[in-house]
Amino acid sequence: MHLMTATGFACVLGLLGLSACDEADDSASLPRPAAQAELLRETRQAAETGLRQTLNAAIELSELRGFPQPTPESFALCGQVSLVSSGRAAPFIVVANRQADGTLAVEQHVATDPVSATRVYVESHARCVARPSSGERRAAPPRLPMVPANLPTLIPAAPPEVVRMEAQQQAAEQAALGSATLRQPGNMRAHPHGGGEVLRVVPRGVTLQVFAQAPGGWLQLGAENPEGWVHSSMLTRGARLPPPAPVTTAGR
């Protein structure tokens, strides 16, 4: 397969809604862009599937750009992927190669941490550039720019089984902390030290859940959620409180 001119490839992108096509390709020796359009469709589908699996979330793609590569039947697709839940976006690049058996080999990179973000940045600047047609003089490739600091990244969501295991572990750890009962009225403070702001005074005999411990004998207490810190010298530790009974309404 021959590489297309920049205008011809823009027409292919226009067929897919990836880019606009304002001019017609005047090179009669080049084939129609249908085959490359099909490659682009397959690559976009592979990119959406791969990115959705990598990020484990609903995604949207934008700012898509496709560029033929020196290897025949190979091109790069660059763009932005955003999480539907938060709208946060980061760059990605997909390099696709048509194999001899007709299958598509896809290499995907997405910015999920500083290292991968740098890889995407460098790969995009090396691959997502307009290349001369076969009749144009090939110039030396441009030097890569300095990699900027704080490149945008996306943190993949944990798989459901991991979320469930973490929730179970957190529940077990919280249950192990148990509860605490005030032996005397005590100050509940915003921070685990004597100079913390007093949020309220907890009456004697009130029992609360323990959510965390801090050095110096401070315990983070609350009814259903953490509320503040009380010193253990005013507390009697006990077992974890049972969950509150569901509220029911009597039938009429």
Residue from 137, 150, 149, 78 nearest 107 by CA: 78
| Mean predicted confidence (pLDDT) in 52-73 | 89
> Is the pLDDT assigned to residue 85 strictly greater than 80?
yes
Secondary structure letter of residue 119 according to DSSP: H
Residue where the block lists tokens 């032996």: 183
Position 138 confidence tier, pLDDT thresholds 50, 70, 90: low
Beta carbons within 8 Å of 179's beta carbon, 6+ residues apart: 207, 208, 209, 210, 237, 238, 239, 240, 241
> Is the pLDDT assigned to residue 184 strictly greater than 50?
yes
pLDDT for res 135: 57
pLDDT for res 25: 41
Token digits of residue 58: 């609903």
- pLDDT tens by residue, 228-247: 999 999 999 887 666 655 55
Position 164 confidence tier, pLDDT thresholds 50, 70, 90: confident
Total-model pTM: 0.53
Contact 51, 59 (CB under 8 A): yes
Task: Compute the distance between CA of residue 17 and CA of residue 29 in angstroms, rounded to an integer.
Answer: 25
